[in-house]
Chains A and B, each alone.
Chain A
Amino acid sequence: MKFDRRLLRWTLGARGPLAGAVAGGLVSTLLAVAQATMIARILGAVFLRGARAEATMGDLAWLAAATVLRALAGASGAAAAARAAARVKSSAREALHAHLVRLGPAGLAAERSGELATTLSRGVEALEPFASQFVPQAFLAALAPLAVLAFVIPKDWLSALIFALTGPLIPVFMALIGIAAERRTRTQWLVLGVMGARFLDTLQGLASLRLLGRARSQAREIAEASEEFRRATMSVLRVAFLSSLTLELLAVLSTALVAVVIGVRLLKGGIDFEPALAVLILAPEFYGPLRALGARFHAGVEGAVAASRMSEILDTPPQVRVAAVPAVLPPQAAPPSIRFDDVRFAYDGGARPALLGASFELPAGRITALVGASGSGKTTAARLLLRFLDPTSGRIVADGTDIGPLDPDAWRDRIAWVPQRPHLFHGTLADNLRMARPHASDADLRRAAAAAGLETLLSRLPRGLEAPVGDRGQRLSGGEAQRLALARAFLRDAPIVILDEPTSYLDAESESLVRAAIDRLAAGRTTLLIAHRLNTVRSAAQVVVLDAGRVVEAGPPADLAAHGDGRYAAMLHAFEGATA
């Protein structure tokens, strides 16, 4: 188990409550010693010396006090451990939240997004048993047996010797056999998880399987696969559980050995009854913490694994440089003209070039359509303008101001972004619209929705603007989602519009609604349009044709179309041919 430096830092951050948890456990052990002593004294007095019941009352009172105090110590230790866990988890979550925002959307590889969401919820939860159980137990396993030993040595050095010799064997055995067995067991649990995924997969495919006439046989396969898994797992477990059997035998037989040795020496008068009984009662207190550490080892491993996954995420460098003192954006009402000035950008720290010195201009208040095959750099250009990314070299200039040194949020205030498909946030339709302008009134929302052609959706939903959408709410069709994105842009009412046209094929009616809304939105704004539609391109003021990160053509669409051997003309030609 390798400790991640961040995990160490978060754990150290909770050292106060952790110390409390360890102290609670330790005090509890000391009180157990007191309990054992009192029980032994009472029994010894009654049994060997034939004391009257009244004579034991004092010891009984002490026993009562020790018992109550032990409960208190245990409870406060547990409370402190809970505090520690809460603190460690909050540190981890806050670090992840902050980094997520710093990374920005372009820093997050798409395939990792699911993993990140899982890490935020379940990964961080794995730190709970780590902080509340494993860490305190690791200290207790070192300290509590020593405390017991310190008590036993003066009472009976031979028992102490047995403790001292057998005790360390437990962690050693754990390390030797337990960890290897644990690894195998964990692999098997992973397989169990796969089985669960497969079950889900089958449930999701039931309709398709019925269409193929295979639903019943697939259900039988689930049964067979489960059976097979059971057999495989049980054969692993038969071996894996042997390791805990060994540990258990070690602890129990050591206790038994202590009992027998003490018994024999009592017989020969080598030890008195009371210390002998106290030592016997304490034997589980000696081995207990060591075995508990074994049981919690799993929590430790899991915490460390989860933390290293978090570290991977936290080590990803952010994509956008934020100046310590950002330049101030000049106030501005009119839409700016924007220039890409020999802009280069490569992903993965230079390994994957996307733009190789692109220069072009977005005329103020007009539509510029970016066209080109996928991978030609259209999306990268839009991301750079949004400052999801910063250029490796070159500049983007708005009305003479380089946007690089600006505060990214202040710059983005000027932009309305229309993604292909907006993310639907868990909340109401109104919440999702207000993303663009938090203080917009309901009337504003309705106006924007109308401008985006969303009225039909509003009238379809019984609760209108207050209808829940997102993960657990209403699903929107592709066309509706696009119009929602457009409605946000209308609400935003920004001088710059960045619009990623939908590539999916909507039905013709949705298509024409979206089309009309785009025209209304772009009017009088500096618009960068990642274009897939012939119509939009034709109505753009300017077309920029990108190929492999370079601008190969730029100009008004009519001019480019007339230019017979140009790239744009070739695209037009191909399109006409395909649909003729």
Chain B
Amino acid sequence: MKGRHETDPKPEVRTSETDGLSGSSGSRISNSFRASGFRFLASSRPLVRALALAAPEWRWMLGGAVLALLTVGVGVALTMTSAFLIATAALRPSIADLRIAVAGVRFFGTSRGVLRYLERLVTHEATFRILARLRTWFCGRLIPLAPARLHAERSGDLLNRVVADVESLEHVYLRLLAPPFVALSAAVFAGAFFGRHDPRMAFAILTGLAIAGAAVPAATRALGRATGLAILGVRSEYQALAIDGVQGLADLVAFGRAAGHRARLDALASDWARLQRRMSTLTGLHEALTGLCAGATVMAILGLGAPMVADGRLGGVTLAVLALGTLAVFEAVAPLPPSFQFLDQAAGAADRLFALADRPPAVAPLSPDARRAAPAPGAIEFDGVTFSHDPADGPVLRGLDLRIEAGARVAIVGPSGAGKTTLSHLLVRFLDPDAGAVRIGGVDLRTLDTDALVGTVTVAPQHPWLCNGTVRDQMRLAREDAGDEALRACARAAGALEWIESLPSGWDTRLGEQGLLLSGGQRRRLALAQALLRDTPVYVFDEPTADLDPESAGRVMEALWSLAGRTVLVITHRLTGLDRADEVAVLSGGRIVERGRHADLLARGGLYRTLHALQRQAETLGTPEA
């Protein structure tokens, strides 16, 4: 568990949160915060946690922010020096008096570009580093949740969102931390500089900056929030409708609904465009207001400065420098509006991510003194196992008893939804029984974790996953050091060798995005070959013949039963090739209702015989694509 502590910043964050609202009156303060409209503070906890995850990169973040500040500062200095140069020159001094100003203009002009360059490099470095950290952290947090806590109905959706959310959090620093830092620091410097000449000028510029940098963005954000939400809604509806329109086009055309669907798409698209237009108009208005603020501030400086120059309290050159400097300082608040707009998105992303990462795993963590080693091979026992995925749906397994001797070859059959896959998940501790116990070689699995168990048990899952690499990479996920001969042998046993070697690049063929280029049958065979490579004492095959035509199915079953000296468990709803099993167990209603050899069960005339007869009727004639 050492690794987990390293990657888990939760305890530290907790303390820092309580520090923020500390003391006995903490909750009252936080209530009054909420009441007084500082809802952001209350809802920003996940954001604070996200920032804490990025915190180890603080050197890069700070470096980037300081460089950004320097870039703005040098820009202001360039404008001010130029103004100084011209105003001084107008007084016709000797050329020597201008020399410093000329050098200043050159220096600031050059360094601004260089600083900007460095700033971009450092900022990107920081962003990539943060992204890597976030990805690794979330991946580590999701591992113990897979599959029981992740593979809900919409897991595809869920994981897609995780990826997108992590990518938006990557910008947390770039958009949420750095711009306010730059703007605030610039405001402090500007206030101090102007204040040296006249406190009223300091007040004017700080007010101008505050309005342009905070009030205007906050107001436009408030005004645009409803539109922003509506855009999100319309966009996701449009996307769903577009996917329906493309993937369901055959259904739509066949039923004469294509024109109607098109009209709905058109209508949604124009709604979407209308909302976006409103949003862009708001953004444009907002830019205009920022310009207005800058102009108004310059006017205030001129209005305040003119009488002072007339009175001799302020140098004429200084007024020119201050007036032009004002225009330049407003550059510091320009990146604030996007960061305001990003706030909601980032908070939402952080919220979703931590809600997921904080889900409790499906099985209890091991005690520190638990065994680490793989269990010795021995009989597998399900002892009065009761399990329900969701208490509302009732138990899937109800006091199931099943003992499988070491080296036995057993088929577990039953209709879909009978809990067959749950059995395989119990064997590798993806799940723990609600009651009863699962043992291998007499050892209760609750004293082991998945990493230890998979050293003994290989589960070939019902829905095989393909990596984003080559066929060889996929196989070697099972055994890193496997030689080509071993790969070939396993592929041959799974009936995959022929097509693998017929592929254009053979073993080096890439599996494409999630291996979608393979047919169901090819996928299945590759996954079986991979499982065979693992060479463990216990094998569990979950629906090994799904997607295979009858002939291939027969051959694959033959190969599975021939695994010598292993305990082989085949979980299937397809009653093909079961005559070679030592025993067939029929699962129904959460219990084993029949056990025996294939021929005996057929002769007995129970549920097995009924299932067999139904399937016999339904066997196929043609050859599905394999």
Contact = CB atoms under 8 A, between A and B. Distances in A.
B223 interface: no
A81 B113 CA distance: 30
Interface stretch (A1-9, A269-277, A360-368): A269-277
B438 to A, nearest CB: 16
Interface string A227-243: 10110011001100110
A238 B121 contact: yes
B42 interface: no
B330 interface: no
A114 B140 CA distance: 30
B423 to A, nearest CB: 14
Interface stretch (A82-90, A300-308, A324-332, A346-354): A82-90
A266 B288 contact: no
Contacts of A438: 257
B616 interface: yes
A101 interface: yes
B146 interface: yes
Interface stretch (A140-148, A216-224, A442-450): A216-224
Main secondary structure of the interface of A (DSSP, over half): helix
A104 B82 contact: no
A252 B465 CA distance: 55
Given A211-B458, A211-B461, A241-B121, A503 B620 contact: yes
Contact of B611 (A93, A215, A508, A571): A508
Contact of A108 (B244, B249, B254): B249
Interface in A63-104: 63-64, 66-68, 70-72, 74-75, 77-79, 81-83, 85-87, 89-90, 93-94, 97-98, 100-101, 103-104
B129, B243, B276, B614: most-surrounded residue (chain A CB, <10 A) = B243
A226 B135 contact: yes
Contact of B277 (A85, A204, A227): A85
Interface in A462-517: 470-472, 474-475, 477, 488, 492, 503-512, 515
B547 interface: yes
Interface string A308-327: 00000000000000000000
B265 A97 contact: yes
A39 interface: yes
B615 interface: yes
Contacts of B93: 267
A409 B256 contact: yes
A63 B295 contact: yes
Interface in A555-578: 571-572, 575, 578
B116, B245, B296: most-surrounded residue (chain A CB, <10 A) = B245
Given A43-B320, A86-B274, A269 B92 contact: yes
Interface string A253-276: 101100110111011010001001
Nearest to B258: A101
Contacts of B615: 508, 511
Contacts of B155: 204
Interface in A512-538: 512, 515, 531-535, 537
Given A97-B266, A426-B241, A579-B619, A219 B139 contact: yes
B124 A237 contact: yes
A430 to B, nearest CB: 15
A575 B105 contact: no
Contacts of B616: 579
A48, A252, A409, A537: most-surrounded residue (chain B CB, <10 A) = A252
Contacts of B121: 234, 237-238, 241
Nearest to B451: A213
Interface string B559-581: 00000000000000111000000
Q: List 4 tightest A-B contacts by C-beta distance, closest first.
A: A78-B284, A47-B316, A67-B295, A423-B248
30 contacts: A43-B319, A47-B316, A51-B306, A53-B306, A60-B302, A66-B295, A74-B284, A78-B288, A79-B284, A86-B277, A89-B273, A90-B269, A97-B265, A101-B262, A199-B166, A210-B450, A216-B143, A216-B451, A219-B143, A234-B125, A234-B128, A245-B113, A255-B109, A256-B109, A264-B98, A273-B86, A534-B620, A534-B621, A571-B621, A578-B554
